[in-house]
């Protein structure tokens, strides 16, 4: 387990920013979803020990950020959402400085900075002042600064923010590479569902400071749909009629050869099996129908999906 939270609360004055947050993340790429103001940035700051939280609520790579914030920050690389930079330096100097702040000796910091800047695609631009960088270049620089000290976990806050489609594609490719080839774990915070869908295999969804869902991305999508895909050997229309008589919404997409069945409240997939058995029909395929991440997100926001993982009070 890379990261876990247990009953985490955080207040800005009397306003709760996080309430009873509970989830865990396995090695790989996890997406932190949620609308603006859901508490994503607050959660990331808590994971880094930048907010005062009670000890024992959070574990990051085996360390408690409330007790060992510096050890956590040594092993975690952060790509913040905000347009942050050091004034008066070029890209190489900023990356070297970030490496030095993480404890790399000067000679190692310099070679390492060149290496990661080349990796993220900043060539000759590394010698230009950071103030002159375009948005895409600044995002690459932030990623380089997050990678330079060789972290085990990356926290990426809106990594594709402000990028054009080409820049976004390149950034997502880089994220996929570090996850799959280099074996880094990534927590990607974004409100862009396409980014999460592209690179993440786990999802944690926040809304108003609470965890709405935590678990596998596919489970999030399929649980969000509540619909089934059913394929029978013959006479699908008979099964469709029988299910409709029992309150199901049934559609038969033309030319697809299967039925899309939406079960009524309180009914389980057993209903489909019973009707097929009664009619003497052979079911060849039955599986949850993926709604797509955006539909799952909307349903989760509307409370249509029961919370995955741990229920929140």
Residues that bind other proteins (CB under 8 A): 45, 48, 50-52, 70-71, 73-74, 76, 78, 80, 82-89, 93-94, 97-98, 100-105, 108, 112, 115-116, 118-121, 123, 145, 147-150, 166, 170, 173-174, 177-178, 181-182, 184
CB of 116 to other proteins, least distance (A): 7
Q: Kindly tell me which of 22 and 125 has the beta carbon lying closer to other proteins.
A: 125
DSSP secondary structure string for all residues of 44-63: HHHHTT-S---TTSEEETTB
| 219: number of Cβ within 10 Å | 17
Separation of alpha carbons 160 and 151, rounded Å: 20
CB of 92 to other proteins, least distance (A): 13
CB of 176 to other proteins, least distance (A): 11
Q: Kindly tell me which of 123 and 254 has the beta carbon lying closer to other proteins.
A: 123
Structure tokens at 83: 């347009």
CB of 291 to other proteins, least distance (A): 32
Q: Kindly tell me which of 98 and 203 has the beta carbon lying closer to other proteins.
A: 98
Q: Kindly tell me which of 73 and 217 has the beta carbon lying closer to other proteins.
A: 73
CB of 166 to other proteins, least distance (A): 5
Q: Kindly tell me which of 137 and 300 has the beta carbon lying closer to other proteins.
A: 137
Please, which residues have CB within 8 angstroms of residue 63's CB and are 6 or more apart in sequence?
A: 71, 72, 75
Q: Kindly tell me which of 86 and 279 has the beta carbon lying closer to other proteins.
A: 86
Separation of alpha carbons 86 and 130, rounded Å: 8
Q: Kindly tell me which of 138 and 231 has the beta carbon lying closer to other proteins.
A: 138
Q: Kindly tell me which of 12 and 273 has the beta carbon lying closer to other proteins.
A: 12
């Amino acid at each position: 387990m890379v990261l876990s939270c247990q009953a985490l609360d955080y207040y800005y004055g009397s306003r709760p920013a996080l309430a009873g947050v509970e989830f865990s993340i396995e090695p790989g790429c996890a997406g932190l979803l949620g609308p603006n103001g859901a508490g994503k940035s607050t959660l990331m700051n808590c994971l880094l020990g930048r907010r005062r939280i009670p000890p024992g609520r959070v574990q990051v790579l085996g360390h408690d950020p409330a007790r060992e914030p510096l050890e956590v920050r040594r092993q975690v690389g952060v790509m913040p959402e905000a347009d942050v930079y050091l004034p008066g330096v070029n890209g190489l100097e900023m990356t070297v400085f970030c490496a030095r702040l993480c404890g790399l000796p000067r000679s190692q910091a310099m070679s390492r900075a060149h290496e990661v800047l080349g990796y993220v695609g900043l060539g000759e631009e590394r010698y230009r002042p950071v103030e002159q960088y375009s948005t895409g270049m600044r995002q690459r620089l932030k990623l380089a600064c997050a990678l330079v000290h060789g972290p085990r976990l990356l926290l990426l806050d809106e990594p594709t923010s402000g990028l054009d489609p080409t820049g976004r594609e390149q950034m997502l490719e880089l994220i996929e590479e570090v996850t799959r080839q280099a074996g880094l774990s990534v927590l990607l915070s974004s409100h862009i569902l396409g980014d999460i869908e592209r690179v993440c295999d786990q999802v944690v969804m926040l809304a108003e400071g609470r965890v709405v869902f935590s678990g596998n991305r596919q489970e999030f999508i399929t649980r969000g749909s509540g619909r089934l895909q059913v394929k029978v050997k013959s006479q699908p229309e008979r099964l469709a009629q029988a299910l409709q008589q029992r309150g199901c919404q049934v559609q038969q997409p033309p030319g697809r050869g299967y039925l899309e069945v939406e079960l009524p409240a309180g009914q389980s997939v057993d209903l489909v099996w019973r009707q097929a058995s009664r009619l003497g029909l052979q079911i060849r395929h039955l599986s949850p129908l993926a709604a797509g991440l955006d539909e799952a997100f909307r349903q989760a926001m509307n409370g249509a999906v029961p919370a995955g993982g741990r229920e929140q009070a």
